Structure formats: C-alpha cells, structure tokens
Amino acid sequence: MTHSPKSTSQNPHTITQAIILAAGKGERLGVLTYMRPKVMLPVGNKPIVEYIVEALAANGIRDIVLVVGYHRELIQDYLGSGERFGVNLRYVAQEHQLGTGHALSTAEDFANQRFLVLPGDNIVTASAIQDLVNAEENAILVTDQARGEQYGAVDVKLGKVVELIEKPHEQTHPWGNTGGYLLSHQIFMYLSQEFELPTAINHMIRDGATFVACETTTGWFDAVYPWDLLKLNGLALAATAAACMGECEPGVTLKGAVTIHPGSVIRANSYIVGPVTIGEGCEIGPGTVIYPYTSVGSNVVIESFTQLRNSIIGDMVQIGSHSHLTDTIVGAASSIGSNFMATTGNTQISLGGKYLSTHMGAIISENVTIGSHVSVRPGTMIGSQAQIGDMTYLQHDVPESTHVI
C-alpha cells in the first residue's frame, strides 16, 4: 500500500517534521479497541500507525512527534525511538481526549515553524502526502474517498480551501477532509481557545490565511468500522510479493503471493492461496487451508484441517482443529478450541448506538477463551477476556470479562 514518491531534495520548501495525532480510542471499532488504540490495530500484520511512519520516512521526514493518550504504552513500546524505521520519534501525552485541536496544542513546544499533521488512525501512502509535504503555503490533504457523515467535507474553489464543513448531513462537496495538514506555527494562536482543529483552520481562513487543497483519490484509507479493517487488510496484502522464509513440509501447496516469515512451519499437506501473510514463529497445519486476504500474526498455532478465509488473526492466537473462520477478526492472545465455526453473512451490528448493516463473520477481541464445538452467528462481537464454554451457539454479543457456559 506504499509507493515511493519522487525525490524532494531539490525543493527548498520541503519540511522535515510531522506531528501524528494518535491519542484516541476508535469507539466505532467496538470490542477491538477495548485493550488497544485504533492506531495499533494490525492491517497486513503491521499496526496502522506504522504505515504512516513509513510514508513520512519515504518523504524524508525524520523528526516525528506522536501525540498519544489511550493505551499509549502500546504505541511507545512498539515504535520506540523510531530508529528501526529510520526516524526520530518523540512522544507527548494528551491526558484527556478533548479534540484534534487540543491534541495538536499539546505538541506546541515541539513544533517547528512549519510542520505536517496527520491522524494516526488512517493509512496514507508516501505518494499521497508528497504534494502536501512540498506545498509552499498552508495545505489540506483532501480525498474523494472520505465521504459520509463520519468525515468532514471541504469546500474547494480553484484549488483553494474556502471552508471545512464538519460531518455534514448531506455530502454537498466532492472532497472530504482526511485530517492531513501542512501548517505553520500560527495555528497555535487559534488553538488557545478552540478544541477542534477544523474550526481553528476556518478561523484562520476567515482572517485571510490561504490553504491549498492537495488532492488524492487512491492514497488514503480509513477503517471506521470492524469490517473496514478486513478491506484494508486485503489492500495491504494485495501489494505484497511472495516470500517464503519459513519451513514448508512435504505436500504443502503455496499459490500466489504467500509470505511466510522466519521461524514459521507449515505442516504437511496444507494449502495456502495468496495474498496471505504469516508472521514469525507460527505452526500451521497439517492439512490446514488458508484462502486469500488472510493475515496471520506472529507465534500463532493453527491446528490441523482448519480453514481460514479473508480474516485477520492477531499475535499469539491458538485455533483448534477442524475450525472454519470467514470474514472474521481474532484479537491477540485468544484461544479457540476445535470445531469452531464463524461463518459470514448479511447481518446488523450495533455500534455507537445504532444498527449498521454489513456482511461479516465474528469480531473477537483480545485474550478471549473459546471452547470446542462453538458456533457464532455472523456479526457477533466477543469482548476481551470473555470465556465461552464448549458446545455453545452464540447469537448475541458477549461483553468483556463475561463467562458463557
């Protein structure tokens, strides 16, 4: 999902700093963000925020400040100093998530005269932000993909931003706000009494500031709801090439772009059709079948004759034999017994106080324990640390730390 931009070394306006806003939870992802922030959810076996750091590094931006809050220790432990990504990372804590403007204001003391601002929970490609990085004025990254009530619209005339319209009831403008900006230090004057960044930018525009619109139609991706993660996961895997760095026993069939990382073993007679990625230290099979657009994290055990299709499996997960998972997300450190069945289908899922229609399998949080011979109705969400007994048919959501016998 990343594309290398053209060299910007000759452009005297190229900036060197970015501030990533990564303090939020991601409420509309339901049980998946009980134990980790949205920015740390895996897509193609990498946290969402890692794609952003890579895109910035590809544009020569090495000085990155992350505004963190909800479960910030997970972000800091994973990204560290940024050395392994070729960047220098610093962290600022937003203790209370009061808005994007408030989040940015916490980084004022670290900000250069001109800097990039990106949300940490959207994936953006290096090429998508290239024009933003090279803009000579204040700029906003807009896209025709950010439509609907969950995004703000952007009124653009002759390449200039006239107004940001927050979460309109009707989409009256073709461009949506990605939350990506090139700003000057002047923005902090407007944030002293304003919690939301788009409102502060509107004040600047009314006071005569110019913001150019940098347009992208293919380089920005967001996951608002759990089923969006499956779509992003598929896009990420579609951009990968085959690489077998693990061990395959006799009779294993690999077709297409299958990536197997070091220390993983694919047992005899397993069948894997890419794009699929399998992390380090996994044991798969024997006789297991994995179909396209499935990512398997590190240190995962998938026992014999299990079938996975278009699913995300987190790190340290164990799935018993003869299980079937389709369009399903399984959080880290969950254990699933044999003969588990999570089929897909048209369903309604309750998120944010309303029911949404989608096509989905199960949505399983972290540290969940599921017994053997369990079946799950499409769209069922199972909260973190829940325990599901043997021979159970789940027709309703299971709250966190709940025991179902």
Q: pLDDT tens, 341-359?
A: 999 999 999 887 788 999 9
For residue 7, pLDDT over 50 is answered with no
For residue 319, pLDDT over 60 is answered with yes
For residues 369-387, average pLDDT: 97
Task: Indicate if 237-404 has the same CATH topology as 17-224.
Answer: no
For residue 287, pLDDT over 70 is answered with yes
237-404 folds as UDP N-Acetylglucosamine Acyltransferase; domain 1 (2.160.10)
For residues 363-367, average pLDDT: 97
Rounded to whole angstroms, the Cα distance separating 259 from 274 reads 8
Higher per-residue confidence, 8 vs 294:
294
Rounded to whole angstroms, the Cα distance separating 34 from 356 reads 20
Residue indicated by tokens 């090139």: 182
For residue 2, pLDDT over 60 is answered with no
For residues 123-148, average pLDDT: 88
Domain boundaries, the chain: 17-224, 237-404
For residues 140-163, average pLDDT: 84
- Of 254, 258, 228, which Cα lies nearest the Cα of 242? 258
For residue 184, pLDDT over 80 is answered with yes
Which distant-in-sequence residues (6+ apart) come within 8 Å of 11 by Cβ?
134
Give the CA angle between residues 276, 129, 161 to the nearest 5°.
Answer: 130
For residue 9, pLDDT over 90 is answered with no
| pLDDT for position 217 | 82
Q: 17-224 sits in which CATH class?
A: alpha beta
Phi-psi region of 339 (alpha: psi -120 to 50; beta: other; left: phi over 0): left
Model confidence at 212, pLDDT cuts 50, 70, 90, reads: very high
| pLDDT for position 10 | 42
| pLDDT for position 11 | 47
For residue 147, pLDDT over 70 is answered with no
| pLDDT for position 171 | 65
Look over the chain and give the mean of its residue pLDDT values, rounded to a whole number.
92
Lowest-confidence region among 8-22, 123-137, 381-395: 8-22
| pLDDT for position 152 | 84
For residue 1, pLDDT over 70 is answered with no
Rounded to whole angstroms, the Cα distance separating 113 from 185 reads 5
For residue 33, pLDDT over 90 is answered with yes
| pLDDT for position 341 | 98
| pLDDT for position 6 | 41
| pLDDT for position 30 | 93
Model confidence at 97, pLDDT cuts 50, 70, 90, reads: confident
Q: pLDDT tens, 228-259?
A: 999 999 999 999 999 999 999 999 999 999 99
State CA 15 to chain mean position distance.
Answer: 25
